[in-house]
Structures are given as C-alpha cells and as structure tokens.
Structure 1
Amino acid sequence: MTTPPFVVFGYGSLIFKPPPHVISQEPGFLRGYVRRFAQKSHDHRGTPENPGRVVTLVHKEDWDRFSASDAFPHEDVVWGVAYTIDPAYVTEVRDYLDYREKDGYTLETLDIYTIDDGVEKVVIHDAYCYVGRPDNPSFIGSEPLDALAAHIWRSVGPSGNNKDYLYQLVESVRALAPASYDSHLFALEVGPSGSASSLCTDSA
C-alpha cells in the first residue's frame, strides 16, 4: 500500500519561510476558517515577559463566538501554500515543524481548495496544518485592530521584529494568486493610528 504524500499547509510564516525538503508547492485556500493575529508569540516574535502576536487559524463558527465585534465578520477564506515534502525526509521535517510550532500549535488535517476556470474545488484532501486552537495557553482571542497593530509594532523577539512578520506575511499573501486577499492582514498593514509604517521602509 502506497503511503500518501506528506503535505503541510502554510498560512503564516511558513509562506515566506518554507519548511526544508519541499519537492513541490502550490497556492490554495481554506474554506470555513479565519486567519487572525490571535496567538501570543513567546519564542519567535516576542518574549515570555512581552509576547508578540502571530496568526493562527480559527474555525469560523468558533471565531464568531469569540469576536462579535470582528471587523470582517463575513470572510471565511484563508490563502496559503501547500508544500509536499520529500518522502525520504518526512520524519525529519515533522520533527522540525513540531519544534518550530511548539508554542501552542496542534497538528490537524483539512482540505485545500483552488479556483479552476472560475470554479472552486478541493485539490488536496487531508493536508496537515498547525493550528493554535482556542483552548491552547497562547491563544489570546480578539483585540481591537488599532491596539493589536500597536502591540505588533512594538514587539520584538528572537526571530526579529513582530511588524516584519506582519509585513512579510502581507506581501506573501498578495503574491500568492490573483484572487488571494486577507482583509484582516491588510488592515493591520498600515500600523497603529498615527504611525508612519510602510512596507517599503520597514519590511525585512
């Protein structure tokens, strides 16, 4: 019996910093989820004393219960990249990802969609994805956009400035496909009110 390929879906830093030993990749999207800066980062874009913020996936129906004041309540599409890993290195890559995503993320499986001649269809069943579930200790939930932007703007961790994570993610999502978008990311891109944030001058 043939072992199915190991495919991991990246929707955050994996988009601009892919895992090792990728043999193919393609853009796609999820249905029924939102991507939100709702996860604390104690080890990459912040510190244990001053955690930054990174994205996680949340089932749309769960998010609706957490955030009645969400600025984009009707969106449930998350664009990202599906990476197929070389079968010879699956164990190594899983260990790498488990360590990289150790701060509250759990491995789940989900379906990945694409648009073919204007029609949505599933292209990959049961791809793996690291999700920060709402019951994990690092989940912070919904914050007002301006307060969230200000927090991202000032946070720094071992992997660098939190705002650079945001900028790289925004730029990467825009480049995925003509239809790719994320209103939450694009709203945060401008930074806190009154700031002079700019992708041209601040992104890494």
Structure 2
Amino acid sequence: MPSKAPYVVFGYGSLIFKPPPNVISQVPGFLKGYVRRFSQKSHDHRGTPENPGRVVTLIHKEDWDHFSGSDAFPDEDVVWGIAYTINPLYESEVRDYLDYREKDGYTLEMLDVYTIEDGIEKVVVHNAYCYVGRPHNPSFVGSEPLGDLADRIWRSVGPSGRNKDYLYQLAESVRKLAPASFDSHLFALEDRVRELDDKNSKETQAQ
C-alpha cells in the first residue's frame, strides 16, 4: 500500500509567529492566486463579541475584485508563509488543536505552496492544508478603508492580547521570512497603526 501523505499545514497569519505543536519540518513558501487581507473579524482572540478585532484571511484574487473598493492594493501583494509538516503520531491531536484555534469562521482548503529556485517558480508542497475565511462566512467583513481598519486594530483587545501586537508580529515575521517580498497592504496598515501609537504617546506626554 502507498504510504499516507504527510499532514502539512500552511500558515500565513499567526501560525507564522506562533507555530502549531509537533512540527517535524518547515519550509517557507508563497501562494499564487490569493491575497492576504485583514478582512476577518476576531471575536475570540484579538477582540470580543461586542468589539471584534481584525485578523488576516486569504481571498482568491478574482473574489477580491468584488470587495476591494476601499483597498488601494488589490492585486500586487505576494502571500508568503510557512508550510509545517506535522509529526504523524500527533496528526489527530494537531488537527483538533487547529480546528479549535481557527474556529471563528475559517474552513479548510488545500493549496499548492511555491518557492523560487534559480529564478524559477516551482511547487515545494502539493496540497497543503490551509485555514481560509471564505467570503460567505459570518465573520468576513470584506474591504474597509485603511484608516478605519487601522483604528479598529489599534483599539481592539481580546483573550489572546492586543490586536495591534498581532499586526506587528505578523509584519515583522513576514519581513524576516521573505525580505524581498511585496506585501503593501500589511506594511501600509502597520505604518498607520504605528502612527496612532505615536499620536497617542505625544498626547499622553502633553497631559
């Protein structure tokens, strides 16, 4: 009998800086045909049911055209992340852990993960599992003006901590992961939230 395919999970958000347990190997890579956007409400990690924060999801580029009226960067970004291979002895346990962690509107898709070798794109992992907040899920909010989105993230706090810390950790991790990557939405949002930090700091000092 052929051996069972390994259980590989692609992380493009918090899984980059907070990996799943029981990882036996990992490889960086990127997706084709998707954008990464802060278009998913977070009721249970970086916000509350009354005041949900915002976390990232993947959206098919062709779908994003329907939601991108407020987004200045609809097509140009590259989604870099990490493909984690899970120890087969703990596959069921890790699946349960991730299903719970990503329960707020996310569903599983299977995606090919790419890398670049000698200037040529190639698939590094076939059919990696990935948690995606599809547009029809109740936590999907679509595109929001960058200033409104930054303000929401700056103010939101949930059981897993401040929403802005999630943003800062993700931006830092993506820079380290792929220094040449182009993720204008992520970095523009980071700049806007840091401006709010600076403004608040100056106002506090002035009091």
TM-score (norm 1): 0.93
For residues 16-37 of structure 1, the C-alpha deviation after alignment (integer angstroms, 9 at most, x for no partner) is: 0000000000110001000000
Letter aligned with residue 35 of structure 2: V
CA contact (8 A) 1:35 1:58 kept: yes
> Which residue is 1:190 aligned to?
191
Tell me the distance in 1 between the aligned counterparts of 2:140 and 2:151.
Answer: 18
Match of 1:196, SS?
helix
TM-score (norm 2): 0.92
**1:15-54 map, 5 Å:** 15-54=16-55
- Does the C-alpha gap of structure 1 residues 118 and 197 become closer, same or farther in structure 2, counting only changes over 3 Å? farther
CA contact (8 A) 1:191 1:197 kept: no
- Does the C-alpha gap of structure 1 residues 41 and 197 become closer, same or farther in structure 2, counting only changes over 3 Å? farther
The Cα shift of 1:182 comes to 1.1
> Which residue is 1:168 aligned to?
169
Letter aligned with residue 84 of structure 1: T
Letter aligned with residue 88 of structure 1: L
Match of 2:172, SS?
helix
> Which residue is 2:134 aligned to?
133
Letter aligned with residue 177 of structure 1: A
CA contact (8 A) 1:174 1:181 kept: no
Match of 2:69, SS?
coil
Larger Rg: 2
For residues 83-111 of structure 1, the C-alpha deviation after alignment (integer angstroms, 9 at most, x for no partner) is: 00001110000000000000000011010
- Does the C-alpha gap of structure 1 residues 193 and 27 become closer, same or farther in structure 2, counting only changes over 3 Å? closer
Tell me the distance in 1 between the aligned counterparts of 2:61 and 2:77.
Answer: 6
For residues 3-27 of structure 1, the C-alpha deviation after alignment (integer angstroms, 9 at most, x for no partner) is: 0000000000000000000000011
- Does the C-alpha gap of structure 1 residues 22 and 197 become closer, same or farther in structure 2, counting only changes over 3 Å? farther
> Which residue is 1:149 aligned to?
150
The Cα shift of 1:123 comes to 1.1
Matched residue count? 198
Structure 2 alignment gaps of length 5 or more: 200-207
- Does the C-alpha gap of structure 1 residues 132 and 168 become closer, same or farther in structure 2, counting only changes over 3 Å? same
Structure 1 alignment gaps of length 5 or more: 199-204
**1:84-123 map, 5 Å:** 84-123=85-124
Tell me the distance in 2 between the aligned counterparts of 1:21 and 1:164.
Answer: 25
Tell me the distance in 2 between the aligned counterparts of 1:12 and 1:96.
Answer: 16
> Which residue is 2:180 aligned to?
179
- Does the C-alpha gap of structure 1 residues 74 and 59 become closer, same or farther in structure 2, counting only changes over 3 Å? same
Match of 2:84, SS?
strand
Match of 1:122, SS?
strand
- More helix by proportion, 1 or 2? 2
Root mean square deviation, CA, Å: 1.5
Match of 2:99, SS?
helix
The Cα shift of 1:190 comes to 1.4
The Cα shift of 1:76 comes to 5.0
Tell me the distance in 2 between the aligned counterparts of 1:103 and 1:55.
Answer: 12
The Cα shift of 1:194 comes to 5.1
Tell me the distance in 2 between the aligned counterparts of 1:108 and 1:197.
Answer: 39
